[in-house]
């Protein structure tokens, strides 16, 4: 790190924890700016390693291996939020870890995250902490049905969630969630879903991308369109203010994603991810600076780039499972940009790539 400017000069090495497509696209953005990336991931051949200078295979909980990894790089970031916070904390005396571990810990626990959002003026769906069947029955009384029981930790892409239509399903739902500490959430009657992608530099400068409208299928993001119109356009300023407050109060550095439901009562906070996000993939061709480049700029102490939209409308389609077999067709479509992640087997539900179309 060039201490004078607080900058990590191009030519330095960035350590990325996690080896999936987010790490792959972060590594490609780093290379464009002249950095080298090392990937730390438990898999033998993670797709990020194909485009990185080095891959270290190791368990996320192996503090010794993580410390060795940190010795070889100039800054550490992560592309995956289910990394145990303890071992990551111990890296901070070797190299800067960005976004900071406090932000990671907050985002790892749905309950703390919602409490934090409420204490900073945001509004999640009505929720209650649940640690027993009795708690769940009380929570169902208080919130009513339909409701969704979500594990506090390790949920993603709709996993770790059970929908409850009627209070007499409590015992089944508690068993299905594995009797794990959870949060019961009211089912939100929303018109649309959207996200706020914000990037914050170490001097506190913030840039926000235009909010995409997101459509999910089976709990997995299927499509993002930017800029989101109608109710999303109406509610993005209030949601953006909340995301900014969260980023400022956490002294956050890097890209932060907050997901919202646009409802008749205003924006309802769903969850946050302390990282680049699938709903920001459209920014690679659709914005002046992509989420990946701005994340790298932020963690390296460089000035942030313009986040303006580069077309009237931008659409990102995820290629999930067998949908990636249509790759040749996308190459024949004008103003469509194909991204394949180089993953082997196209299992159902697996994110194999995406396409961004500019209109």
Interface residues with ligand AMP (CB under 6 A) are: 125, 148, 155, 158, 185, 187-188, 193, 216, 219, 259, 270-271
Nearer of residues 80 and 327 to ligand AMP, judged by Cβ: 80
CB of residue 191 to ligand AMP, shortest distance in Å: 12
DSSP secondary structure of 117-140: HHHTT--BS-EEEESSHHHHHHHH
CB of residue 155 to ligand AMP, shortest distance in Å: 6
Nearer of residues 30 and 151 to ligand AMP, judged by Cβ: 151
DSSP secondary structure of 48-87: GGGGSSEEEE--TT-HHHHHHHHHT-SEEEES-TTS-HHH
Nearer of residues 191 and 248 to ligand AMP, judged by Cβ: 191
Residue 335 neighbours by CB distance under 10 Å: 11
Cα gap 311→272, rounded to integer Å:
27
Nearer of residues 56 and 262 to ligand AMP, judged by Cβ: 262
Q: What are phi and psi of 8, to 5 degrees?
A: -100, 115
CB of residue 263 to ligand AMP, shortest distance in Å: 9
Nearer of residues 81 and 285 to ligand AMP, judged by Cβ: 81
Tokens of 19: 């080896």
Tokens of 247: 């980023």
Asked, as a colleague might, if the bond just before 233 is cis with ω within 30 of 0, I would say: no
Cα gap 169→133, rounded to integer Å:
11
CB of residue 161 to ligand AMP, shortest distance in Å: 6
Cα gap 29→22, rounded to integer Å:
11
Nearer of residues 64 and 144 to ligand AMP, judged by Cβ: 144
- CB closest to ligand AMP, residue no: 188
């Amino acid at each position: 790190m060039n201490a004078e400017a607080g900058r990590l000069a191009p030519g330095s090495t960035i350590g990325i924890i996690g080896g999936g497509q987010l790490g792959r696209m972060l590594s490609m953005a780093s290379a464009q700016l002249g950095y080298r990336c090392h990937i730390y991931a438990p898999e033998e051949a993670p797709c990020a390693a194909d485009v990185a200078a080095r891959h270290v295979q190791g368990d996320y909980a192996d503090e010794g291996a993580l410390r060795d990894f940190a010795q070889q790089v100039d800054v550490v970031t992560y592309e995956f939020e289910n990394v145990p916070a303890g071992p990551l904390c111990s890296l901070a005396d070797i190299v800067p870890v960005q976004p900071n571990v406090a932000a990671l810990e907050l985002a790892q626990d749905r309950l703390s995250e919602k409490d934090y959002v409420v204490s900073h003026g945001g509004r999640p769906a009505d929720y209650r902490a649940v640690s027993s069947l009795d708690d769940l029955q009380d929570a169902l009384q208080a919130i009513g049905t339909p409701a969704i029981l979500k594990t506090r930790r390790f949920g993603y892409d709709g996993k770790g969630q059970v929908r409850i239509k009627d209070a007499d399903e409590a015992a089944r739902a508690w068993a299905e969630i594995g009797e794990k500490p959870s949060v019961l959430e009211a089912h939100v009657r929303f018109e649309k879903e959207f996200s706020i992608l914000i990037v914050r530099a170490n001097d506190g400068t913030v840039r926000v991308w235009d909010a995409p409208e997101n459509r999910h299928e089976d709990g997995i993001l299927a499509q993002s369109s930017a800029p989101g119109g109608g109710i999303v356009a109406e509610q993005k300023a209030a949601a953006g203010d909340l995301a900014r407050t969260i980023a400022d109060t956490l002294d956050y550095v890097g890209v932060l994603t907050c997901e919202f439901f646009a409802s008749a009562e205003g924006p309802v906070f769903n969850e946050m991810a302390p990282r680049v996000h699938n709903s920001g993939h459209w920014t690679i061709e659709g914005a002046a600076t992509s989420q990946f480049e701005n994340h790298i700029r932020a963690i390296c102490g460089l000035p942030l780039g313009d986040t303006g939209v580069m077309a009237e409308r931008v659409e990102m389609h995820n290629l999930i499972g067998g949908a990636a077999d249509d790759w040749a067709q996308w190459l024949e479509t004008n103003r469509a940009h194909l991204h394949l992640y180089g993953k082997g087997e196209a299992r159902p539900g697996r994110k194999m790539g995406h396409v961004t179309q500019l209109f």
